[in-house]
Each structure stands twice: as structure tokens, then as C-alpha cells.
Chains A and B, each alone.
Chain A
């Protein structure tokens, strides 16, 4: 199993540009998550999904959109990039939402810079 894969690894955007961060998992997990990680701030949940066709907002959803058309894929869309969206983005998945089965498996991250 490849686990959770993310592309691209790095990206530089200009203010106002759009892009999609790709995330795929091959573990047949129902639950998927997008986080952003800023220095000294830990991880903030952007969006999550509990299954194909179902998504919901996390703590910091503004400026982002997601879709979940398949179990495997959970892309994150930035429509109008802003400098405040400069961050490292992690996708994760888990088998369930509770207890031990909530172990989240993380992708390697996408480092995004908006100039």
C-alpha cells in the first residue's frame, strides 16, 4: 500500500491564482481530513469527510473548498490564493472517527507559498 499520497510537494502561487492540492489514499478509509500547519500553531483542521459525497467544515475553512466523489480522493481547492494561505498542507485518513481506529495516517505534505 502507498498509504496517503499528496501532490504537488511544493508550489509557489501568485496572489489571486487558483490551484488544487491532490490527496489519494489506498487503505479504503472512509474518513479523510485536510490540515494546515503553521509554525508554532500546530495543526488546524480545514475540512473533513466521513465518506464519499459527504464533507464538512473544520476550524479554518474560509478560502478553501473540497469534494469527495470517491472513497480514495479528497482534493482541496484554493480559489483566490492569498498570502495568509502560505502554509504546509497535510492530508490524512482514518478507518473510523473514534478510539484506536481514529489513528490518522498522514501524507507527506504540500508546502505552499503565496507571493
Chain B
């Protein structure tokens, strides 16, 4: 399909791990991104992964990429209440000229104390 798909909602307990999943559309996407949106604010880049990588770790964040299934995931270890936000995955579509970034539908992460 055309859309970058994510589940709408995820609830976890503080201290547990969170896994947010994303299915993207363009198998030739060179970079894939995770953005975080806190309440009442714009999006901020959390992390990104280059398409020739399977995994990238950055402190509590682990990004896994399965190119065959066009599946991207973001794992947050030891989830804290400050991690409550909406998380968007994004892919780059197109080749040559302007390559557009397309955002997913967003997953709202609720962390229960």
C-alpha cells in the first residue's frame, strides 16, 4: 500500500521494554528514521538507520531493520514516563531529484508508572 503503517497505541509499565513497529513501502529507501513528538510540540529526530544496516544501538534505543519484509522496529529499554509520546517512523521515497520523506501514522506510547 501507499501508507507507512504503524499501530496506533502501545501501553507499557515503567521499567519494561517497549517495541514500536513500522512497515514501510519503498524497498529502495536509503535511510529510515524514528521521530518523537511530545505533547503540544513538533517532531524531533530520535535516531535513524542506513539501509545497509540490520541494527543500530544508541543508549536505550535499538533499531532493527528487516529489508526483506520492509519492517522497522524501535526498542526502548527501561522505558521511563518521560518516554510517553507519539513515535513516527519515516522513510525516504523516490530516486534522483527530490527524495521525499514520508511519515508513518504514529504510535502513541503510554508509560504507566
Interface residues of A (CB under 8 A from B): 4, 35, 40-43, 45, 48, 50, 56, 58, 90, 92, 97-100, 102-104, 106-109
- The reply to whether B42 and A92 form a contact with Cβ atoms under 8 Å apart is yes
Chain A binding site: helix, strand, loop or mixed by DSSP?
A: mixed
The smallest C-beta distance from B22 to any residue of chain A, in angstroms, reads 11
Interface range on chain B: under 10, 10 to 19, 20 to 34, or 35 or more?
20 to 34
Partner of A109, one of B42, B44, B50, B103: B42
Would B105 and A98 count as touching, CB distance under 8 A? no
Tell me the complex Cα distance, A106–B96, Å. 25
Contact partner, B31, options A40, A45, A99, A109, Cβ 8 Å: A99
The residue that B42 contacts in the complex, of A42, A90, A99, A100, with Cβ under 8 A, is A90
Chain B residue nearest in CB terms to A107: B42
B103 touches A97 (CB 8 A): no
